[in-house]
Amino acid sequence: MASVFKKTATKPLPVNAEIITRKGKRLARWKDGRGKNRTVAVTTGRDGTDRIVIQAATYTAKYRDGQRIIREVATGCRTKDGAMSVLRDLTGRAEKVKAKILTPNEDRIGDHQATPLDTHFAAYIDHQTAKDVHSARIDNTRSRLRRVAADCGFARLADLSASGVERWLLDRQREGMSAGARNGYREAWIGFANWCVKTSRLLTNPLSDVPKADARADCRRKRRALTEDELTRLLDAARRRPLQDAMTIRRGPNKGKAIAKVNEGRRIELEWLGRERALIYKTYLLTGLRMSELASLTVGQLKLDGPLQFAVLDATDDKSRRGADIPLRPDLATELRQWLDARLVNRQSDARATGTDIPDELPPESAVFNVPASLCRILDRDLKFAGVPKKDDRGRTVDVHALRHTFGTHLSKAGVAPRVAQAAMRHSSIDLTMNVYTDPRLLDVHGALDSLPTLSLDGTPDATQGEAKATGTDNAGARQFAPAFAPKSDNWCKPLSIVVNSDD
C-alpha cells in the first residue's frame, strides 16, 4: 500500500503552444517566458478542451497510518530515494502506534515537527482572527513571534526552548527594555505554544517555565490622577485656549499678548473647538472610556432619553471585545444632548445656505466627537495653559490615559464600593481597580484616622470624645468601615456597565 509518487495537475493550454504526436502520445510544445522550450503531455478536460498535464517537482508519500487511515504527506524530496526514506519513517511511526508504543496524538505531533515556524505562525494568526481578537493586538503578536524566532534561530517547533527565550529576554533587559514590554513578548510566545499543544502540534508547552518580570518594580510610565481643582482648571483651559492661542502675538514687542484680531467666523469656529475639547475631557473623566473607545462612539449609540442615560459601546470597539453599556451622569447627558442639538442646528444652517435637504436629525452613524490622533500633545498644551504640572514630585505624569486613572481614583475617594468601581472601570480584577487605577495621594487617609476610637494612656476617657458622644456628634457611623464604602440611599445608582473583563 505504501508508495511515493509525484502529483499531477492540469492547466489550460498555453496560447502559443502547438500540439504534436510522439510515439502515439499527444504533447504540447511551446516556449516559456524565459525562452526555454517546454514539452508536456496533453489530456482532455471535462469540458472537452485540451489541457496540459503538470507534474509536481517533489514526491508525495502515500501510506496507512496507525489508525488505518490512508494519508498523503508531502515529503519535500525531489529524488525518489529521499522520498522513500521519509516514507519508511512514516510507516515506522504507524507500526509504533499499532503496537501502542506511540499514542495517535503523539503521532500527529510528529507530523508538525518539520513544518517551518512561519506556517504555524500563520495558522495561529488565523485562529486569533477567527476569535475576533483586536487587529492591533494581532499585529503585535505577529511581530513579537517573528522577532524572537529570528533572533533565537527558531526555525521549527523542535527548536523551541525555554532557555533560548530566557536568554533573549535577559539581553533585552540589559538593553533597557521595560518589564512590561518583555512580558508582552513572553505572553505572545506562551500563548502560541499553548495553542500548539491544543492543536496537537506540541505534546507540552516548552516555554511554560519562562519567568515573568515584575512590571510594578520596573514601571516606566507612572501616571497620576488629577485633583478636583486641577480638573476644573483643565476644562476651563481646554475651552478657552484655541481662541486665546489665535489671539496671542508670537513675535515683536507685543509678543505673548492676546491682542491679535480674529474675525467673527474664525472666532466662532475656535470657540466651538474649545467647547468640544472640554466636553471630550469631561466625558473621559465621567465615564472612564479609553481613547479609542470614545473615538468610536456614534450618535446612534447614545441613549439620552429615559430614566437612565447611557452609551452603548460595541463589542468591536471595546478592548475586551464584549461590549458594554456605559452609564452617563445626568449633567453629562444634558451637555451631550445640547452638543448634538447645536451640531444639528449648524448642519441645518449649512443645508439652507447650500440649498440642500434640511436634515431633521444627525445621522446615527456620525461620530459624537472628532477625537484627534494628536490628543496627547493637545492635552500637554492644555495642561500648560491651565498651570497644571505634567509631572509631580515623584515623576508621575499626566497623559490621556491618566484621565481614566483619575476616574477610578475619584470613585474610590467618593467612597464608592470597590466592586461597583470595578464594574464601572470594566476591569477583570478588583486588584487592578484598587491598586493600579487608584492614586493613594488623593485619598483622605488622614481623615480616615479620625474614625478610629480615642485611646487614652492613663485609662481615663477623653473629655472631648465624651462630649461628642453626649451630643451625638461623635460621627460613630464613620467608624463602621464597611458602611463607609457601601452604596447609600442618597447616592443610589444602577450600574449598567457590569461587564468585567478588561485589563486596563
DSSP sequence for 180-243: HHHHHHHHHHHHHHHHHHHTTS-SS-TTTTPPPP-TTTT-S--B-PPPHHHHHHHHHHHHHHHH
The whole-number pLDDT of residue 203 equals 81
Q: CATH number for the domain including 215?
A: 1.10.150
Q: CATH number for the domain including 328?
A: 1.10.443.10
For residue 353, which amino acid is it? Answer: A
Same domain, 211 and 143: yes
Q: Residue 250 corresponds to which cell in the numbers above? A: 508670537
Gap between the Cα atoms of 469 and 7, Å rounded: 96
Q: Residue 378 corresponds to which cell in the numbers above? A: 493637545
Same domain, 132 and 198: yes
The whole-number pLDDT of residue 468 equals 46
Same domain, 10 and 75: yes
DSSP sequence for 283-344: HHHHH---HHHHHH-BGGGEE-SSSS-EEEE-TTTSTTSS-EEEE--HHHHHHHHHHHHHHH
Residue 460 inside a domain? The answer is: no
Residue 465 inside a domain? The answer is: no
Starting at the edge strand that comes first in sequence, how are the strands of the sheet with 8-12 ordered?
8-12, 50-55, 37-44, 25-31, 18-22
Number of other CB atoms surrounding residue 122 within 10 Å = 12
Same domain, 43 and 125: no
Same domain, 92 and 114: no
DSSP sequence for 117-173: HHHHHHHHHHHHHHTT--HHHHHHHHHHHHHHHHHHT--BGGG--HHHHHHHHHHHH
Residue 485 inside a domain? The answer is: no
The whole-number pLDDT of residue 363 equals 93
359-404 pLDDT, tens digit per residue, is 999 999 999 999 998 999 999 999 999 999 999 888 889 999 999 9
Q: Residue 226 corresponds to which cell in the numbers above? A: 488629577
Residue 496 inside a domain? The answer is: no
Q: Residue 387 corresponds to which cell in the numbers above? A: 498651570
Place of cell 487605577: 437
Domain boundary among 169, 192, 220: 220
Domain boundary among 192, 220, 248: 220
CA distances (Å), 102 to each of 73, 109, 198, 204, 426, in order?
19, 11, 18, 15, 47
The one-character DSSP state at 252 is S
Q: How many domains does the chain have?
A: 3
Q: Residue 95 corresponds to which cell in the numbers above? A: 507500526
The whole-number pLDDT of residue 393 equals 85
Residue 478 inside a domain? The answer is: no
Same domain, 149 and 183: yes
Residue 195 inside a domain? The answer is: yes
Domain boundary among 188, 220, 252: 220
Same domain, 258 and 145: no
Contact assessment for residue 403 and residue 431, using Cβ atoms and an 8 Å cutoff: no
Backbone dihedral region for residue 35 (phi beyond 0: left; psi -120 to 50: alpha; all else: beta):
left
Question: What are the helix (H) ranges across 416-457?
Answer: 418-425, 430-431, 445-449
> Residue 235's closest CA among 285, 187, 292, 199?
285
The one-character DSSP state at 492 is -
The one-character DSSP state at 434 is I
Residue 437 inside a domain? The answer is: no
Q: Residue 69 corresponds to which cell in the numbers above? A: 487511515
Residue 450 inside a domain? The answer is: no
The whole-number pLDDT of residue 452 equals 64
The whole-number pLDDT of residue 271 equals 95
Same domain, 285 and 197: no
Same domain, 361 and 247: yes
Contact assessment for residue 397 and residue 422, using Cβ atoms and an 8 Å cutoff: no
Beta bridge partner(s), residue 52: 11, 42
- Taking each helix axis from N to C terminus, what angle separates 162-175 and 135-152, rounded to the nearest 10 degrees? 100
Same domain, 244 and 278: yes
Same domain, 8 and 128: no
For residue 157, which amino acid is it? Answer: L
Burial 355-374 (b: 16+ CB within 10 A, else e): eeeeeeebeeeeebeebeee
Mean pLDDT by 10 residues, the chain (504 residues): 88 88 89 86 88 90 84 86 88 81 69 83 93 85 96 92 95 91 94 92 90 78 89 95 93 88 93 95 93 93 90 86 88 94 93 91 94 93 95 89 91 87 86 79 65 66 50 42 35 40 52
Gap between the Cα atoms of 243 and 246, Å rounded: 5
Q: Whole domain around residue 91: which residue ranges?
A: 3-102
Same domain, 305 and 160: no
The whole-number pLDDT of residue 127 equals 93
Gap between the Cα atoms of 393 and 289, Å rounded: 27
CA distances (Å), 157 to each of 84, 105, 160, 196, 462, in order?
24, 16, 6, 9, 74
